Amino acid sequence: MSQSDNFEAAASGAATDVASFEDTHKGLVGQIQHTLHVNPALVPLIVLVAAICIFGLVLGSKFFSPFALTLILQQVQIVGVLAAAQALIILTAGIDLSVGAIAVFCTVIMGQFSFRYGMPPAAAVACGLAMGTAIGAVNGWLVSRVKLPPFIVTLGMWQIVLAANYLYSDNETIRSQDIANDAAFLQFLGYKLKFGGAVFPLGVILMIALVLVLAYMLRSTAWGRHVYAVGDDPEAAELAGVNVHKTLMSVYMLVGFICGLAAWVMIGRYGSVSPSATTGVIGNIQAITAVVIGGISLFGGRGSIMGAFFGALIVGVFELGLRMAGADPQWTYLLIGVLIIAAVSVDQWIRKVTA
Amino acid sequence: MTQPILKARGLTKRYGKVTALDRCDFDLMPGEILAVIGDNGAGKSTLIKALSGAVVPDEGSVELDGKKVDFHSPIDAREAGIETVYQTLAMSPALSIADNMFMGREIIQSGVMGKLFRRLDKAKMQEIAREKLNELGLMTIQNINQAVETLSGGQRQGVAVARAAAFGSKVIILDEPTAALGVKESRRVLELIQDVKSRGIPIILISHNMPHVFEVADRIHVHRLGRRLCVIDPKEHSMSDAVAFMTGAQEPPEHPQAA
């Protein structure tokens, strides 16, 4: 190599200290953007606290009471559990339209196995959870191995499971008293713990525990890191040594299992088992709404499960608050629509921190 | 004569009617830096992917340390001690530097928290990651927990190289490691390559940058039309010779194995 093209020598006199970036130049907006980038659950938390404060100020102690606030928790427990499931799928850049249908089908399995086949209720619950996991496994296999888009797989599975639910149950509802008399364990999660005016059914406690466990798993285990990596860029994850198939299968199966848990929560909440419960039809959309408001990116790999939980609570606060204020229920839907669009706009803005 | 540490014979890979690899041979000697050069579309990437497990060849065999190996995924190759830095870097942008360095081989805490709850030892991973980046001296990074997407292209490359250097035990494959780097950063990567070599780990270097190739390579594998055209010694040939061989402007030298 001739000396004349030794262009690199020119760099030898350059400054050798490492580059440092002054964060202060970004100003307040930049710092907020950065903080939100690091803590994606912060936006829904702020919205949640603000909503509670506003309704509390307007409605006074009617709303801002232990009873009303825990009522919100009771009203969102099913959607909250489904949203936790949905959040996992959306973190892998998928979407699951079948969560509500799986939950309803699992309630029917739990009820019919107890009453039609005389199974002990605990075994029937186990069968329901197993059925949820199995349906999740089929979804996962179709997405991961057959490489079908999650939207298509779960759109089909939604219809299949809902139809199977009606066919198997003969559209027969199992009444609450019958369950209480013969298979009380099915309603176990409806058992209410009372502290003064505050009411906590076990279903609410299960929801909160589930969110905390999933948050831990996503944050502090290798599995959680893999879920984010797969949602971020599956090819990069595969090359970096993540077993993408195994990760996706585990996520879809876990989601099926959580749908089974949602089923058990449903029986606790409603008392009865009804194959035509509305959760089968709108549960998926409610869960997606909570996840989106919770700041989880539909493109995968970003967001936190706490966000989805806060999202579900925001919807619950709006529903109860507006009903107490005597507003037309359509206002709730209108505001939730605004929140969805606002949440996605904020997500896009936060992503710009990378540019 | 010493045995090659990584040896491939008759590798063939077809994509439909396109033959990317045509009975290709490949030899990597212990402790050497072997550069692989070739025109665009010559099949360099496919060759590297076949060696790193990202592509399963239709025909042919790969031997590592004299033993036949059968890689079906990059994980297989990694477990055998072959680390690859891909041109795409294979990193998850939203995750942190430490997360990315340990992706797929996370360290779990010792004790109950690790055994029962599979809790990651984040402190230890961050410490090792910081150590490896410091060894390179390549980084201008303050925070090991910052997301990879907030790094510049050169910094990302540095993290990827550090990851391979930290874990590669038998062979390290670098695909265009200096392509996205500035002059100073390229220099550091080249120093790092020498550094890794001095530890006795052989390196396969794929590059279009002739000055870099001629500076660090012990031998140069010239790839053309899906196969090995010749292996030349950079001390005996000039850069223009190499370019002439790989573009077909000049016939390769008589003895194909200039070892």
Q: Which two tokens stand for residue A334?
A: 């209108």
Q: Which two tokens stand for residue B68?
A: 């036949």
Within 8 A by CB and 6+ apart from A218, the residues are A91, A224, A227, A228, A304, A305
Q: Poorest-confidence range of A15-24, A108-117, B83-92?
A: A15-24
Give the A:B interface size as CB pairs under 8 Å.
96
- The helix/strand/coil state of A245 is helix
CA distance B169 to chain A (A): 16
Buried b (16+ CB within 10 A) or exposed e, B161-184: bbbbbbbbebbbbbbbbbeebeee
How high is the mean pLDDT of chain A? 89
- The helix/strand/coil state of B65 is coil
Which chain A residues are closer than 8 Å to B215 by Cβ?
A: 1
Phi, psi torsion values for A269, nearest 5 degrees: -75, -50
Residue B233 has pLDDT above 50, yes or no: yes
pLDDT band at A1 (very low <50, low <70, confident <90, very high): very low
Asked if the Cβ–Cβ distance from A236 to B78 is below 8 Å, we say no
Q: How many distinct structural domains can be found in chain B? A: 2
Select from B119, B143, B167 the last residue of a domain: B167
Taking the CA atoms of residue A134, residue A136, residue A137 and residue A140 in that order, the dihedral angle to the nearest 10 degrees is: 170
pLDDT at A334: 94
- Give residue-wise pLDDT tens across range A39-77: 778 889 999 999 999 999 999 888 989 999 999 999 999
**By CA distance, what is A222's nearest residue in B?**
B106
pLDDT at A164: 96
Closest residue to A229, CB basis, from B103, B186, B215: B103
pLDDT at B154: 74
- Burial (CB count within 10 angstroms: exposed 0-12, middle 13-18, buried 19+), residue A1: exposed
**Domain match, B51 and B178 both:** yes
**By CA distance, what is A355's nearest residue in B?**
B150
Which chain A residues are closer than 8 Å to B84 by Cβ?
A: 239
- The helix/strand/coil state of B238 is coil
Q: Poorest-confidence range of A21-35, A187-201, B167-181?
A: A21-35
| Bridge partners for A200 per DSSP | A193
Q: Where are the beta strands (DSSP E) in A81-227?
A: 192-195, 198-201
Cα three-residue angle A268-A274-A277, rounded to 5 degrees: 90
How high is the mean pLDDT of chain B? 85
CA distances in angstroms from A182 to A188, A201, B19, listed in the order given: 13, 21, 70
**Domain match, B5 and B52 both:** yes
Would B2 be classed as within a structural domain?
Answer: yes
CA distance A18 to chain B (A): 5
Other beta carbons less than 10 A from residue A305's beta carbon = 27
| Bridge partners for B120 per DSSP | B108
Alpha-carbon gap, residue B96 to B143, rounded angstroms: 9
pLDDT above 70 as % of chain A: 92
pLDDT band at A34 (very low <50, low <70, confident <90, very high): confident
CA distance A119 to chain B (A): 33
pLDDT at A8: 60
- Topology of domain A43-53+64-344, CATH: ABC transporter involved in vitamin B12 uptake, BtuC (1.10.3470)
pLDDT at B254: 62
ipTM score for this prediction: 0.82
| Bridge partners for B228 per DSSP | B223
Closest residue to B95, CB basis, from A19, A225, A353: A225
pLDDT at A3: 45
Selected residue with higher pLDDT from A350 and B176: B176
Element (H, E) at B124: helix B122-136
Alpha-carbon gap, residue B46 to A84, rounded angstroms: 41
**Domain match, B192 and B64 both:** yes
Within 8 A by CB and 6+ apart from A80, the residues are A207, A211, A290, A309, A312, A313
Within 8 A by CB and 6+ apart from A324, the residues are A55, A59, A62, A63, A68
pLDDT at A56: 92
Asked if the Cβ–Cβ distance from B94 to A301 is below 8 Å, we say yes
Q: Which two tokens stand for residue B179?
A: 């392509």
Would B20 be classed as within a structural domain?
Answer: yes
Q: What is the DSSP string of A131-148?
A: HHHHHHHHHHHHHHTS--
- Give residue-wise pLDDT tens across range A266-295: 999 999 999 999 999 999 999 999 999 999
Which chain B residues are closer than 8 Å to A1 by Cβ?
A: 211, 214-215
- Burial (CB count within 10 angstroms: exposed 0-12, middle 13-18, buried 19+), residue A352: exposed
Alpha-carbon gap, residue B21 to B12, rounded angstroms: 5
Alpha-carbon gap, residue B221 to A218, rounded angstroms: 45
Asked if the Cβ–Cβ distance from B118 to A241 is below 8 Å, we say no
Asked if the Cβ–Cβ distance from B88 to A301 is below 8 Å, we say no
Asked if the Cβ–Cβ distance from B89 to A236 is below 8 Å, we say yes
Would B88 be classed as within a structural domain?
Answer: no
Residue A10 has pLDDT above 70, yes or no: no
Other beta carbons less than 10 A from residue A123's beta carbon = 14
Residue B116 has pLDDT above 90, yes or no: no
Q: In the 8-state DSSP scheme, what is residue A6?
A: -
For testing the chain B interface, which of A18, A225, A352 should be mutated: the one with the most B CBs within 10 Å?
A225
Taking the CA atoms of residue A270, residue A272, residue A273 and residue A277 in that order, the dihedral angle to the nearest 10 degrees is: -40
- Can you tell me the mean pLDDT for A326-349? 89
**Domain match, B75 and B172 both:** yes
- Give residue-wise pLDDT tens across range A79-106: 999 999 999 999 999 999 999 999 999 9
Q: Which stretches of chain B sit within 8 Å of chain A by CB?
A: 54, 73-75, 78, 84, 86, 88-95, 99-100, 103-106, 108, 117-120, 122, 139-140, 142, 147, 149-150, 183-184, 186-187, 211, 214-215
- Can you tell me the mean pLDDT for A183-193? 93
CATH number for the domain including B220? 3.40.50.300
Would B89 be classed as within a structural domain?
Answer: no
Would B259 be classed as within a structural domain?
Answer: yes
pLDDT at B141: 64
pLDDT at A355: 45
Nearest to A342 by CA among A330, A352, A334: A334
pLDDT band at A7 (very low <50, low <70, confident <90, very high): low
Asked if the Cβ–Cβ distance from B105 to A301 is below 8 Å, we say no
Asked if the Cβ–Cβ distance from B92 to A223 is below 8 Å, we say no
What one-letter code names the amino acid at B41? G
Asked if the Cβ–Cβ distance from B90 to A354 is below 8 Å, we say no
Contact B120, B106 (CB under 8 A): yes
Alpha-carbon gap, residue B33 to A169, rounded angstroms: 69
Range of the domain at B159: 94-167
* A28-32, A310-314, B165-169, B180-184: range with highest mean pLDDT: A310-314
Phi, psi torsion values for A10, nearest 5 degrees: -65, -25
Alpha-carbon gap, residue A307 to A47, rounded angstroms: 11
Asked if the Cβ–Cβ distance from A225 to B99 is below 8 Å, we say yes
Q: Which stretches of chain A sit within 8 Å of chain B by CB?
A: 1, 5, 7-8, 11, 14, 18-21, 37, 216, 220-223, 225-226, 228-229, 232-233, 235-243, 301-302, 353-354
Asked if the Cβ–Cβ distance from A232 to B184 is below 8 Å, we say no
Residue A23 has pLDDT above 50, yes or no: no
CA A269 to chain centre: 19
Taking the CA atoms of residue A311, residue A314, residue A318 and residue A320 in that order, the dihedral angle to the nearest 10 degrees is: 110
pLDDT at B189: 79
Within 8 A by CB and 6+ apart from A330, the residues are none
CA distance B42 to chain A (A): 22
Would B255 be classed as within a structural domain?
Answer: yes
**By CA distance, what is A303's nearest residue in B?**
B94
**Domain match, B163 and B126 both:** yes
Q: Which two tokens stand for residue A160?
A: 């299949």
pLDDT at A13: 52
Q: Poorest-confidence range of A110-114, A123-127, A266-270, A349-353?
A: A349-353
- Give residue-wise pLDDT tens across range B136-193: 665 566 678 888 888 877 778 888 888 888 887 789 999 888 877 778 778 877 887 8
Select from B135, B167, B199 the last residue of a domain: B167
Alpha-carbon gap, residue B137 to A295, rounded angstroms: 37
Other beta carbons less than 10 A from residue B60's beta carbon = 17
- Burial (CB count within 10 angstroms: exposed 0-12, middle 13-18, buried 19+), residue A344: middle
What one-letter code names the amino acid at B139? M
**Domain match, B151 and B107 both:** yes
| Bridge partners for B21 per DSSP | B13
Domain positions in chain A: 43-53+64-344
Which chain B residues are closer than 8 Å to A220 by Cβ?
A: 117, 119-120, 122
